[in-house]
Amino acid sequence: MSDWNRTVTNPIVWLASLIVISTILLIGASVFGIDKGVLTGMAKPDFARGLITYLFAIVTIGVALALILWVLAGPDPTDANDARFQRGKEILGLLMGVFGTIVGFYFGAESSKPPSPNLEISTLDVDPKLPQSGSTITLRAVVRGGTPPYKVGVAQGNDNLELNDLAGDGGWVSKQVKLRDVKPGESPTIRMSVQDATGKRSDQAAPINVALPP
């Protein structure tokens, strides 16, 4: 077999090429705006710790399985094969040490976090206080507790409420809502719902005093 064929069929060359190609694809996806959040999420400590722990777990388990298969279904023992197996065990021992440190730090950091206070929405402030039927009002509130960022949704009465907006810095929410036409004797209600990054949800409602035409 020629040197070129040995190089092409070498699994180390294939693995290195796969890593390089994957890195180029991730960078290209981030540059062209089609990244699904991997590179941008690495800026968040929680996401980065979880991703690194997951990758080390996969690699460590893969090396351990490869050594087990080598012992159970590999070639007959020879001095050369025994030397390769010993080098594989040394690599596995190194990975186990690093993996144990990462797992200990990851779960230690998670357990040391103080519990987040309950997610709450302040009383809704409606401006103007006596809006006209069919006019646009400004709804203000403050979100406290939970884990930001907060998704916010507003609806009138029993309308479908979708969490499509994000709260501002400090949990401040200011939204403009167009009221439906109100019939005489009807007491409309405006609803606000907030969901934090962990999926916790809180709701708040306020009656709207509408100034009806004479």
Could you tell me the CATH number of the domain that includes residue 194?
2.60.40.10
Q: Are residues 61 and 126 in the same domain?
A: no
Structural contact between residues 174 and 137, judged by C-beta atoms closer than 8 angstroms: no
> What is the pLDDT, as a whole number, of residue 194?
92
pLDDT(176) > 80:
yes
Q: With a cut of 70, say whether residue 53 has pLDDT above it.
A: yes
Concatenated DSSP letters of 74-96:
SPPP-HHHHHHHHHHHHHHHHHH
Residue 214 lies in a domain: no
Could you give the number of structural domains in the chain? Answer: 2
In a domain, 163, yes or no: yes
CA 202, 207, 211, 214 torsion-angle sign: positive
- The model's pLDDT over 15-42, given as tens digits with 9 standing for 90+, comes to 667 777 877 777 777 677 666 666 666 6
Judged by average pLDDT, the poorest of 78-82, 135-139, 175-179 is 78-82
125 part of a folded domain: yes
Place of tokens 């996969």: 58
190: left (phi over 0), alpha (psi -120 to 50) or beta: beta
Same domain, 180 and 203: yes
- What is the per-residue pLDDT for 108? 64
Closest by CA position to 181, among listed 135, 213, 133: 133
pLDDT at 213 over 70: no
Rg (CA), the chain: 29
- Which residue from 143, 145, 142, 141 is spatially nearest to 118, judged by alpha carbons? 145
The verdict on 145 and 99 lying in the same domain is no
Residue 1 has pLDDT above 60, yes or no: no
3-state secondary structure of 130: coil
Token pair recorded at residue 37: 């959040």
Last residue of a domain, one of 92, 111, 130: 111
User: Do 72 and 162 share a domain, yes or no?
Assistant: no
> Which of 62, 88, 111 finishes a domain?
111
Asked if residue 136 is part of any domain, the answer here is yes
Per-residue confidence at 111, pLDDT binned at 50, 70, 90? low
Q: Indicate whether 78 and 129 sit together in one domain.
A: no
- Over the chain, what is the mean pLDDT? 77
Structural domain range at position 21: 3-111
Q: Are residues 16 and 98 in the same domain?
A: yes
State mean pLDDT over 158-169. 86
